[in-house]
Every structure is written in C-alpha cells, then in structure tokens.
Amino acid sequence: MLRARPLHFTSRIEDWNRFLTALGLVLTEGDGGFRVFDSAAGRLVLHEVPDGDPRDGTTAFAVEVGDLAEFARRTNESAAGEGATPAELVTVDHGEACRITGPDGFSFLADPAAHGAQCADADPALAVVAVWFSPDPEAAARTLRHVGARPRPNPDNDETADFTAKNGGILMVRPASGQPRSGLGFEYDGGLEPLRERLAAAGFPAGVTEEAFGSTLHVGNPDAAVFAASVPATVWISERRAMG
C-alpha cells in the first residue's frame, strides 16, 4: 500500500484544526500535540511545536505503507537497474520507518499505517497533496515511481510530474532552484465556489485565482504569523484538472 501522509509542524495547532475541519478533513487519531486528519484521499498529520521552533510552519513530505520491509525491498528492486538503493529501514524518534533518499539528496519517511480505511465522513472531493520541489525533477519523479506512485497525465511543462498514491493522496514534483524542499496543498474534485463559501463561513476567507488549466483557492495560512521565508502566505486548494 501507499498513501500520501505529509507531516505539518505548527505552533498554531488549534487554528489548523479549525481550518482542516472547515476544509472537510476529519480528525481520526490524537487530540493533543499530534493529530492525524483524514481526507477522502490521503492523510495529514499535525505536530505541535513551540513558537519559535525552526520547524514551525513547515511541512515534511511523507507517506505511509503497509509492511515496511516489503516496501523497502520492492523500492530497491525497482531502482536496481540504476544501481541505486534509495530505501533504508531506520529507527526514528517515533519508531520504525523506512527512509527514502532521492538523487538530489532529498529524503522522506514512509511510516507504517496505523489503520487502512479512509474516514467515510471526510469531504469526498478533497485530496491531500504532498509536493517535492527539486533542482532535479526528473530524478525525483523516478524515485516516486520506484516507491510505487502512479503517474497521471499532467498538462504542464515537462519538468513537472504528478502521481497518485494507490491508497489515497497525490504526490507532485515541481522544479526549484537551490536545496530541495517539500510543500503542502490540496486538490478539489468539483467547483471551488461552494468550498470558498464554506471556508469563509468558518472564518477563513479565500480568493480564487484563474490559471491556465483550472482555478485555485488561496486561503490565509494559519501559520502566517511565523515570519520565515519558508512559510508561504497562503494555503492552496486547486481544482482537479480534467484531462482530455
């Protein structure tokens, strides 16, 4: 199995709790400083950190899988033709995991899934999107193929790549200069105006931007008070693109 499960660090966990609930995700694990939210496709974890923590307002690209050893074996077998072994079983502060490292030096964790089924009460149109910004997007895309992500058509230029995870969520590769980094967003399979109204009613006004291949909602980031270059001003929810 493979599911998108990015990890977001924040000192404003209650604001994020309200935002994700208004967006249509459902809290399925935890109620303190570690909370797991289900969408219809993919999960998002909130990890509370103190105000001023260098991780505050950042997101770690991450996935969850079934059997860690089997996932590592299959990933390395897929990459063997390149002479690469990108997956390594590791012990981290929260337990056993698998670390995947791309040719650009970017690494992310695959954690064992605590439960398999997505929450049926989540908004059925919403998906969690984890983004890998890389100076070598082609190599990053190959790594995601090795872990079992499924390519999907992308109308953008050749340096971008979109993938779906078999058990929910979307993984994206986007070109970027400098050090590789991760990002967070959402995708909505339907008209954005009702979602915009729902967010506004919950105290999260959003603006709609018309783009070449669809519309995108931009909502004020609950972490906006974190004054750091790595913290974006808004959280985006893109309209799912119909591929002709």
**Cα(92)–Cα(193) distance, integer angstroms:** 42
Q: What is the predicted pLDDT for the residue at 242?
A: 62
pLDDT tier for residue 221 given thresholds of 50, 70 and 90: very high
pLDDT reported for residue 225: 77
CA dist., res. 235 & res. 2, Å (int): 24
Q: 228 pLDDT exceeds 70?
A: no
Q: What is the mean pLDDT of residues 140-165?
A: 87
pLDDT at 13 over 90: yes
For residues 111, 183, 42 and 51, what is the CA-based torsion angle, rounded to 10 degrees?
Answer: 70
**Cβ-contact 60, 22 below 8 angstroms:** no
In this prediction, residue 91 carries a pLDDT of 95
Task: Give percent above pLDDT 90 in the chain.
Answer: 78
Q: Taking 80 as the threshold, does the pLDDT of residue 211 lie above it?
A: no
Question: Is 70 exceeded by the pLDDT of residue 153?
Answer: yes
Q: Which residues lie across from 65 on neighbouring strands?
A: 2, 112
User: What mean pLDDT comes out for the span 220-236?
Assistant: 84
Domain 2-63+122-239 has CATH 3.90.550.10: no
The pTM assigned to this predicted structure is 0.94
Q: Minimum mean pLDDT among 79-83, 151-155, 192-196, 200-204: which range?
A: 151-155
Please give the pLDDT value at position 227: 65
Contact 34, 45 (CB under 8 A): yes
What is the structure's pLDDT at 160?
A: 85
Q: Is the pLDDT of residue 219 over 90?
A: yes
Q: What is the mean pLDDT of residues 28-42?
A: 93
pLDDT (average), residues 67-80: 95
- Average pLDDT across the chain, whole number: 91
Domain segments of the chain as ranges: 2-63+122-239
pLDDT, mean of residues 84-89: 92
What does the pLDDT average to over 219-241? 85
Cβ–Cβ under 8 Å, residues 54 and 9: no
